[in-house]
Amino acid sequence: MADTDYPASWYAATRDATPERPRLNGRVAADVAIVGGGFAGLHTARLLAMRGMKVVLVERQRIGWGASGRNGGFVGPGFALRTGALIERLGEDHARQLYAQSQRGVEIVRSSLKEMGRSDILMGWGRLSIARTDQGPDFAERSRALAKKLGATFEPWETDQVRALLVTPRYFQGLHDAQGFQVHPLNLALSLAADAERLGVQVHEGTEARSLERRGIEWQLRTAMGEITARHVVLAGNADLGRIHRLSGAVLPVATYVAVTGKLGPRLGEAIRWRGAIADTRRGGDYYRIVDDDRLLWGGRITTDTREPARLRAMMRADILSIYPQLGELEIEYAWPGIMGYALHRMPQVGEIEPGLWACTAFGGHGVAQTAAGADAVAAGITHEDDRWRLFAPFGTAWAGGALGRVGTQLVYWKLKASDWWDEKRQAKNAETLRT
């Protein structure tokens, strides 16, 4: 395959040189077949190979082609479903165990970089989630109580602390997690694939899994020119699994976008005086960080319309300037879309869904660490070490509703967005009234 095969992005432009992996041709027997060469499939493959299993992984396009090679690169615990909702749904003890599994995911990503000798992929420390409305005087107390309940390491930052580092009146209090970090996600995916191969995993690019059938105690996975027979199959295809299993109907594709500016010089550091990963807490809110010394990598927006908008660069420029107008003239050098896979309940689908058939998918917009957490639970399940994957069992593989599901999700998103907008406006008006 040509060097230009990856869709244009700053990550593709700065990626490691990587060999093309051959298509699967012919029959092969394995302990485990894995569908999908994103983080979920790659971590699962690597963790199983470390335990001595024979693994074959097939990827329709190229390693890290999907969400894993295009995301914001933020690594931190938690899930797409907010922690308050998780506690409400499952109770404190269960929510705490799930949160701990997500923290384990963070640790797996961090230690894999060390094991692979790729500390350069780690691009910075610290993660800050910021509110766009005032959270009230008891924010710090509430946050500390939540952190204690979950066993989390985040700590509250007051508004003046946030605004000293992020020069915008749009922001209020924040939660800072010193253990969060940032990566170059495409290089992480490529390194995981290379390391999995070193451990004996057979990786095939340009190889779509087209059908899956049970034969006695084994599964038969067919591709255009080949066939894998394996006792276990792991479905890690995110929102684009295809027709091989009904699981694809349970994962809704939701688009989001990332842009990278040209080099901005000192004005960037004057507006954003912090090198960690920053996200606001709105639905489909902004997430960003500084890369390459003085470029701004900015992500945001969500929509169920998965086509790339014609005015993507202009949209992203407007989003940046709505927070940091002082940046002035901005060139967007790269802008690209990515597809996240969401289940209706917004939690990942992880676990054994039929004997020997495993799901490790639907991580939504929280997947860099969470895929590792899911892979770790699936690998431990396949090798009969433990059944930690059952922590995810309350979140089943219910149908996401196809096209109707997309319409419903879009409506809910618009409603939530409208309520975020309304909260901001109401607060701004109240502040004005207080001043006058």
Ligand X SMILES: Cc1cc2nc3c(=O)[nH]c(=O)nc-3n(C[C@H](O)[C@H](O)[C@H](O)COP(=O)(O)OP(=O)(O)OC[C@H]3O[C@@H](n4cnc5c(N)ncnc54)[C@H](O)[C@@H]3O)c2cc1C
Binding residues (CB under 6 A) for ligand X: these are 35-41, 58-61, 65-68, 70-74, 208-209, 236-238, 240-242, 244, 256, 258, 287, 299, 338-340, 361, 363-368, 371
For 161, the token pair is: 């602390």
For 185, the token pair is: 């996600």
CA 145, CA 158: separation in Å to the nearest integer? 16
Ramachandran angles phi, psi of 124, nearest 5°: 165, 160
Q: Where are the alpha helices (DSSP H) in 91-200?
A: 92-115, 139-150, 159-165, 185-198
CA 342, distance to chain mean position in Å, is 11
- Quick one: 23 or 231, whose CB is closer to ligand X? 23
For 356, the token pair is: 């020997």
Kindly state the smallest distance separating residue 407's Cβ from ligand X, in Å: 21
Kindly state the smallest distance separating residue 378's Cβ from ligand X, in Å: 12
Task: Give Cβ neighbours of residue 373 (< 8 Å, ≥ 6 apart).
Answer: 101, 102, 104, 105, 108
Kindly state the smallest distance separating residue 313's Cβ from ligand X, in Å: 15
Compute the radius of gyration of the chain from its Cα atoms. 22
The per-residue b/e assignment along 325-353, b for 16 or more CB within 10 angstroms, e otherwise, is eebeebebebbbbbbbbbbbbbbbbbbbb
Kindly state the smallest distance separating residue 428's Cβ from ligand X, in Å: 28
Kindly state the smallest distance separating residue 82's Cβ from ligand X, in Å: 14
CA 413, CA 304: separation in Å to the nearest integer? 9
- Quick one: 37 or 351, whose CB is closer to ligand X? 37
Q: Are 188 and 43 in contact (CB under 8 A)?
A: no
- Quick one: 57 or 131, whose CB is closer to ligand X? 57
Element housing 43 (H / E): helix 39-50
- Quick one: 139 or 364, whose CB is closer to ligand X? 364
- Quick one: 105 or 156, whose CB is closer to ligand X? 105
Give the β-pairing of 332-342 and 211-215.
unpaired
Kindly state the smallest distance separating residue 57's Cβ from ligand X, in Å: 9
Per-residue H/E/C for 336-379: EEEEEEECCCCCCEEEEEECCEEEEECCCCCCCCHHHHHHHHHH
Would you give the DSSP letter of residue 23?
P
CA 130, CA 53: separation in Å to the nearest integer? 43
- Quick one: 65 or 392, whose CB is closer to ligand X? 65
User: Closest Cα to residue 186, out of 361, 17, 364, 375?
Assistant: 17
Ramachandran angles phi, psi of 130, nearest 5°: -120, 145
- Quick one: 174 or 367, whose CB is closer to ligand X? 367
- Quick one: 242 or 394, whose CB is closer to ligand X? 242
Ramachandran angles phi, psi of 54, nearest 5°: -85, 120
Kindly state the smallest distance separating residue 66's Cβ from ligand X, in Å: 2
Place of tokens 């004057």: 270
Residue 123: Cβ within 10 Å count: 20
Kindly state the smallest distance separating residue 37's Cβ from ligand X, in Å: 5
- Quick one: 139 or 252, whose CB is closer to ligand X? 252
What is the number of the residue whose Cβ is closest to ligand X? 367
- Quick one: 87 or 244, whose CB is closer to ligand X? 244
- Quick one: 109 or 166, whose CB is closer to ligand X? 109
Residues 299, 41, 296: CA angle, nearest 5 degrees: 15
